[in-house]
Amino acid sequence: MTLSYDQLRALDARHVWHPFTQAGTAKPAILALGGKAATIYAADGREYLDLVSSWWVNMHGHGNPAIAQAIADQAQRLEQVIFADFTHEPAARLAQRVTALLPGDLNRVFYSDDGSTAVEVALKLAHQYWRNLGEDRSVIVAFEGGYHGDTVGAMSAGHSSGYFNAWKQMLFPVETIPFPETWDGDAEVEAKEAAALAALDRVLAAHPDRISSVIIEPLIQGASGMRMCRPEFLRALEAKIRTARTLLIFDEVMTGFCRTGGYFASAKAGVTPDLLCLSKGLTGGFLPLSMTVARDFIFDAFWGQDLSRAFLHGHSYTANPLGCAAGLASLDLLQAPACQARITEIEAQHRRRLDRLAGAPNVAHTRLCGTVAALDVTGSGQGYGAGISDRLKTAFMERGLLLRPLGHVLYLLPPYCITDAELERAWDVVEEVLGSV
Ligand SMILES: Cc1ncc(COP(=O)(O)O)c(C=O)c1O
């Protein structure tokens, strides 16, 4: 039985609970029928240019035929297998190919399902690493505004992002230090970096031999408003951590796979963290999959004859073969010279359009890192629930752009297949809308 557009929307309204949504005030969900490259097609005939890569996952846009084919082929061979006692070709090959692009000896991949679980695994690995060494280190240090996902450990590390007030009592304490966010023409950046490092010194001094790890979203804090820091800061952070004897975790769930221009923010900054989390772009947006990558010495600390030293953690769909096959196909696309050239062009195009907007009366703090461009819309409320966010979103949707401001922060994070003309049109609409709010 074929259901009409209205019947499907009624089923959704009756039975589906949407994420990050107040059902009492939200407009009915848009029924997506299909997607091709940077465009999403809705059942009511409207089209939306996806400038947020559908929550930062669809690196190559929608409906990429090469990834779809790789999944179909893999589904004919092996759709899923228990990942204890068994392995399979896509998992082994994907682990080898991703680690080959990572800096240093980040060689060992632990698979899980999404960004939150990748972070949860990193935090648990860090904790048990010290335990296996006979040390009791349970303090985690995170950065103000950091967002690491919605599981309890990830929420605890991201408590200052402001997303988790409903669960404050569930979270374990985490030490938080300032994130030295910067933007075009920022004269204070070095002072902010020095203040952040001094705050880290104070936390280290307050908890001698108790800190298990320091976690950061490198180069760009995503959910708290595309807040950017300099690679110089990450190098200084790494140097401090090496003398402090604790572990450095890079949450590259959003920054991975060329979002920041380089393949990974870590490689771009020239920093080798001890643990690194990847998800989102890993499968090109086709399937949920994630990795926590560990340096060799971390894996070695779990090695032995004793089960209690092992990492007794796993998920039913760990290293799902379809997801891994999608990951391999997505990497082929990403490493193609044409895709790499397009990433460079997107950054240049963003730069030109940001510079044009920089003097506008309601625009501040323009910033750019790789394919992520952002600015603050001034003269409005701040924060996730700021009214300006909804007004802007509605104005963009009416003009066929999927753009979801984070509070007063407007950002563009397009799929790499977006054409020059599509991106120009998007920026034209941004200029028009900002001129009228
Ligand atoms: C940096 C970062 N870490 C972790 C997560 C959580 O990922 P997921 O939503 O796939 O659980 C996100 C999601 O936006 C993120 O941006």
The pLDDT of residue 381 is 57
The pLDDT of residue 437 is 83
Taking CA atoms only, the protein residue closest to ligand 1 atom 4 is 148
- Asked which of 275, 304, 334 is the last residue of a domain, the reply is 334
Q: Is the CB of 402 under 6 A from ligand 1?
A: no
Q: What is the pLDDT of residues 174-218, one digit of tens each?
A: 999 999 999 999 999 999 999 999 999 999 999 999 999 999 999
Q: What is the pLDDT of residues 17-44, one digit of tens each?
A: 999 999 999 999 999 999 999 999 999 9
- The rounded distance, in Å, linking the Cα atoms of 149 and 146 is 10
| pLDDT value at 106 more than 80 | yes
Taking CA atoms only, the protein residue closest to ligand 1 atom 3 is 148
Q: What is the pLDDT of residues 73-88, one digit of tens each?
A: 999 999 999 999 999 9
Q: Is the CB of 223 under 6 A from ligand 1?
A: yes
**Is-contact 325 70, C-beta < 8 A?**
yes
Q: What is the arithmetic mean of pLDDT over 296-313?
A: 98
Q: Is the CB of 145 under 6 A from ligand 1?
A: no
| pLDDT value at 47 more than 90 | yes
Confidence band for 380, pLDDT divided at 50, 70 and 90: low
- Asked which of 308, 334, 360 is the last residue of a domain, the reply is 334
Atom of ligand 1 nearest to the CA of 151: 11
Query: What's the CA-to-centroid distance between 222 and ligand 1, angstroms?
Result: 9
Let me know whether 178 and 289 are in one domain: yes
- Asked which of 313, 334, 355 is the last residue of a domain, the reply is 334
Query: What's the CA-to-centroid distance between 307 and ligand 1, angstroms?
Result: 31
The pLDDT of residue 300 is 98
Q: Is the CB of 120 under 6 A from ligand 1?
A: no
Q: What is the arithmetic mean of pLDDT over 217-233?
A: 98
The pLDDT of residue 215 is 98
Let me know whether 225 and 326 are in one domain: yes
The pLDDT of residue 1 is 79
Taking CA atoms only, the protein residue closest to ligand 1 atom 10 is 115
Query: What's the CA-to-centroid distance between 277 and ligand 1, angstroms?
Result: 10
Atom of ligand 1 nearest to the CA of 118: 4
Atom of ligand 1 nearest to the CA of 116: 11
Atom of ligand 1 nearest to the CA of 117: 11
**Mean of per-residue pLDDT scores for the chain:** 96
**Is-contact 415 340, C-beta < 8 A?**
no
| pLDDT value at 261 more than 70 | yes
Query: What's the CA-to-centroid distance between 114 and ligand 1, angstroms?
Result: 7
Q: In what order do the strands lie in the sheet with 247-251?
A: 106-112, 290-295, 275-278, 247-251, 211-216, 139-143, 175-177
- The rounded distance, in Å, linking the Cα atoms of 367 and 373 is 6
Confidence band for 387, pLDDT divided at 50, 70 and 90: confident
Q: Is the CB of 143 under 6 A from ligand 1?
A: no
Let me know whether 176 and 57 are in one domain: no
CATH of the domain at 72: 3.40.640.10
Let me know whether 228 and 90 are in one domain: yes
- The rounded distance, in Å, linking the Cα atoms of 209 and 135 is 8
| pLDDT value at 264 more than 90 | yes
| pLDDT value at 376 more than 80 | yes
Query: What's the CA-to-centroid distance between 124 and ligand 1, angstroms?
Result: 17
CATH of the domain at 350: 3.90.1150.10
3-state SS of 195-264 is: HHHHHHHHHHHHCCCCEEEEEECCCEECCCCCEECCHHHHHHHHHHHHHHCCEEEEECCCCCCCCCCCCC
Range of the domain at 368: 5-63+337-434
Confidence band for 337, pLDDT divided at 50, 70 and 90: very high
Q: What is the pLDDT of residues 419-429, one digit of tens each?
A: 999 999 999 99
CA angle, corner 36, sides to 31 and 39, nearest 5?
65
Q: What is the arithmetic mean of pLDDT over 65-73?
A: 98
Q: Is the CB of 222 under 6 A from ligand 1?
A: yes
Written as one letter, the residue type at 424 is E
Q: Is the CB of 116 under 6 A from ligand 1?
A: yes
Q: What share of the chain in percent tops pLDDT 70?
A: 98
- The rounded distance, in Å, linking the Cα atoms of 280 and 323 is 12
Let me know whether 287 and 393 are in one domain: no
Q: What is the arithmetic mean of pLDDT over 122-126?
A: 98
The pLDDT of residue 382 is 57
Let me know whether 178 and 89 are in one domain: yes
Let me know whether 267 and 364 are in one domain: no
The pLDDT of residue 379 is 80
Q: What is the arithmetic mean of pLDDT over 336-360?
A: 97
Q: Is the CB of 39 under 6 A from ligand 1?
A: no
Q: Is the CB of 114 under 6 A from ligand 1?
A: yes
Query: What's the CA-to-centroid distance between 216 and ligand 1, angstroms?
Result: 12
Mutate to test the pocket of ligand 1, among 20, 116, 216, 255 (most ligand atoms within 8 A of CB): 116
CA angle, corner 284, sides to 280 and 285, nearest 5?
60
Q: Is the CB of 279 under 6 A from ligand 1?
A: yes
Taking CA atoms only, the protein residue closest to ligand 1 atom 13 is 149
Let me know whether 405 and 276 are in one domain: no
- The rounded distance, in Å, linking the Cα atoms of 194 and 371 is 27
Atom of ligand 1 nearest to the CA of 217: 1
Let me know whether 148 and 243 are in one domain: yes
Q: What is the arithmetic mean of pLDDT over 286-307?
A: 98
CA angle, corner 308, sides to 305 and 313, nearest 5?
115
Q: Is the CB of 251 under 6 A from ligand 1?
A: yes
Residue 52 sits at φ, ψ, to 5 deg, of: -120, 15
Let me know whether 345 and 254 are in one domain: no
Angstrom CA distances, 299 to 107, 279, 317, 342, stand at 9, 20, 22, 37
Q: Is the CB of 113 under 6 A from ligand 1?
A: no
DSSP, res 406: B
Atom of ligand 1 nearest to the CA of 56: 14
Let me know whether 134 and 244 are in one domain: yes
Let me know whether 312 and 349 are in one domain: no
Atom of ligand 1 nearest to the CA of 146: 1
| pLDDT value at 384 more than 60 | no
The pLDDT of residue 386 is 57
Taking CA atoms only, the protein residue closest to ligand 1 atom 16 is 254
Specify the number of domains making up the chain: 2
